[in-house]
A and B are shown apart, each in its own frame.
Chain A
C-alpha cells in the first residue's frame, strides 16, 4: 500500500531513502570528536602527565574506541535515535534506571557544553585581550541556542565544512611538528618524560581521565543511526573508523605539541595549541597564523558544542513525549519546528553552570573551570559507557539479525574494565567533582518531580522506555 518512486540510489530500505552515507557519518563522528577535546584540554593533560602526555591520549582513545564498538554493536541492532537510554531499557527493563541514565546523559551534555564554552572563551581572549571570559562564554551559549533555534545545524553540508576546518587546524599543528623534526630541533627525550613528582602510572591515568573528554561526542552519532543507510554495515565502520582517525591525529598532535613547546608552557596556557603556533616554527608570519588558528579552534569548539546543545534539547523532547519531564519540553516553535523550550532551558542550565563556576573561582582562583566541567562530563560518561557495554553483553543473543555487527568480546571486556578503572580513579582523585555531579542530577530530579506534580502523583516513570519519540 505504501508505494514510492523507484529510488535513484541502489538503496531500497523499504523504498525509503536515507541520507546519511558512510562517508557523511564518518565525517560527522570525526568532526564531533575532534572539536571536543584536543583544542580545549591539551594543556591540562600536559600539565597532569608531563612530556609523555601523548600516552594519555593514546590510552583514552583506546578505551573510548572499545566503548565505540559496543555502541556500534547496539546501533546495528537498534538503529534508533535514542542511544544509551534505549539500550539500557532493552537490557534491564527498569524504567527508573533508564530514567537515571537519560538524566546522566543530559547532565554530561550540560557539563560538556559548559566546558566547551569556557574553552571557547579561552581562545577568544587570545584574540581580544580584554574580553571578560564569563561574558564571552555566556554569549557563546546564547549564540549556540539561537543557531539551533534557527536550525542551521540541520545542514549536512555545514557539518562537513566544519569538520574540514577542524582537520585543517590540526594539520597546521602537524606541519609545525614535521618542520621541527626536519630541522633537527626535536628533542625526542621529552616524549618519555613524566611530571617530576609522583608515580608515572598515576600521572598517565590522571591524563587519560582528561584525554577521555577529547573522545566524547562519538555517542552523539547514535542520533543519526536511524537515517543511516544500511546501519548494520555502515555504522560500525564509520564510527570506529572516525574514532581511530581522531585517535591517530590526537597522538600525533600531542607529540608535536610536546616537541615544539616546553611542557610547562603548554600546561599553563589557556589555549595550549595556540602556543604551538606561537612558537613560530612554520615559515609564515606568526601574528596572522595565530589569528587564523584561533578562529579554527573556535569553529572546532563551536561544532561540538552545537551538537551538545542539539542533544540536550532532543533528549528533553524525547523525555517530554514520554511524560517523564513536563510536557512543555515537547513544545515546538510553530514555524521553525524547533524545541524552543528545551533550547532555552539548556541555555539557562549551561549559563548557570558557567556563573556558578565563575563564583567558585572568586573563592578559589585555582579552579580550572574547563577542566572541572570536563571531569564532570567524564564522570557521567564513564558511568554510561560502562553500562552500555554491560547492556551489549546482556543483549547478546536477542534481536540479532544476520548482518548485525558483533564486537569482539575481549575488546568489550577491556573497554568495560577501562571505563570502571577510570571512573573509580576520577572519583577518588577528585571527590569534589561529585558535588557538581550531584548538582546536575538535582536538575533531573526537579524535572521529574515537576512531571509527577503535573500528573497528580501518578508515577511518570511507569512504562518509560527511553525512546526518543513516542506517540503522546
Chain B
C-alpha cells in the first residue's frame, strides 16, 4: 500500500505524520511519499514552520526561496518517517494545494492520503472549506484527516 503524506509546513502536518506511524502497520506499507504544494500566486506561496532538516540542501543562488521552504518542510517530515520502515520519497509540486494533492494521489496510485485538518472556524467551513475538506471530497482513495488535540496551535 502506498501512502501519501501531505505537508503545508505547519506543525499540525508533522503531527499528522506521527499519527500515521501510531495508527498504521509499517510492514503493510510499501512506500510513503511526502508531498508539499507551493502556490505561486498566493501571498505566501509556502511557509515552513518546521525548521531546517538535519541534512539541509545547500541554498541555491540568490538565497532561500519558497520552493526551498517547501523542500525543507518535506525533508523534515521525511526524516520523521525515515526509520519507520517503508521507503520514503519526497515531492514538491506547485499549484492549488487541494487539487495538487489529489493529482499526486492519482499519479502515485496512492491508497491513503494523510493530512492535517484545516481550521474549524466560520471562515474555513462556510466560505471555502479547508484543504482537507476539499481533498477528502475528491481524492481517489481513503483520506486520513488528523485533528491535533488541544488548543489550535500546540507548541505555541
Report A's interface with B, CB cutoff 8 A.
1-5, 8, 16-20, 28, 77-82, 86, 90, 148-156, 159, 223-224, 226-227, 309-310, 313-314, 317, 330, 332-339, 342-343, 399, 465, 467-471
Judge whether B41 and A159 touch: CB under 8 Å: yes
Interface string of B10-54 (1 = CB under 8 A from A): 100000000000000000000001000011111111010000100
Max chain A Cβ within 10 angstroms of own Cβ: one of B52, B127, B130: B127
Q: A4-B90, A17-B94, A334-B153 are in contact. Are A148 and B43 (CB under 8 A)?
A: yes
Judge whether B152 and A154 touch: CB under 8 Å: no
Query: In the assembled complex, which residues on chain A have CB atoms less than 8 Å from the CB atom of B67?
Result: 16, 226-227
Report B's interface with A, CB cutoff 8 A.
8-10, 33, 38-45, 47, 52, 55, 61-69, 89-97, 107-108, 118-121, 123-124, 127-128, 130, 152-153
Judge whether B41 and A470 touch: CB under 8 Å: no
Query: In the assembled complex, which residues on chain B have CB atoms less than 8 Å from the CB atom of A80?
Result: 62-63, 65
Query: In the assembled complex, which residues on chain A have CB atoms less than 8 Å from the CB atom of B44?
Result: 313-314, 317, 332, 337-339, 469
Max chain B Cβ within 10 angstroms of own Cβ: one of A156, A314, A471: A471
B interface SS class: loop
Judge whether B69 and A224 touch: CB under 8 Å: no
Q: How far is the CB of A343 from chain B (nearest CB, A)?
A: 7
Max chain B Cβ within 10 angstroms of own Cβ: one of A226, A310, A317, A337: A337
Q: What separation, in Å, do the CA atoms of A330 and B46 have in the docked complex?
A: 12
- CB < 8 Å: which of A1, A17, A90, A226 contacts B65? A226
Judge whether A153 and B90 touch: CB under 8 Å: no
Cross-chain pairs A/B with CB under 8 angstroms, 22 sampled? A3-B90, A4-B89, A8-B107, A16-B92, A16-B93, A19-B93, A79-B62, A81-B45, A150-B123, A152-B128, A153-B43, A154-B39, A226-B67, A227-B38, A227-B40, A227-B45, A313-B44, A335-B121, A335-B124, A335-B130, A467-B63, A467-B64
Using A4-B89, A5-B108, A16-B91 as known contacts, list a sample of 19 further A-B pairs with CB atoms less than 8 Å apart, ordered by residue number in A. Answer: A17-B93, A19-B40, A20-B40, A78-B61, A81-B40, A81-B45, A150-B127, A151-B39, A151-B42, A155-B41, A156-B96, A223-B40, A226-B65, A227-B94, A313-B43, A313-B44, A334-B153, A335-B120, A471-B52
Query: In the assembled complex, which residues on chain A have CB atoms less than 8 Å from the CB atom of B68?
Result: 469
* 6 closest residue pairs by CB, A with B: A335-B119, A227-B40, A467-B63, A19-B94, A154-B42, A78-B62
Judge whether B95 and A19 touch: CB under 8 Å: yes
Q: How far is the CB of A183 from chain B (nearest CB, A)?
A: 43
Q: How far is the CB of A403 from chain B (nearest CB, A)?
A: 14
Q: How far is the CB of A198 from chain B (nearest CB, A)?
A: 43
Q: What separation, in Å, do the CA atoms of A20 and B96 have in the docked complex?
A: 12
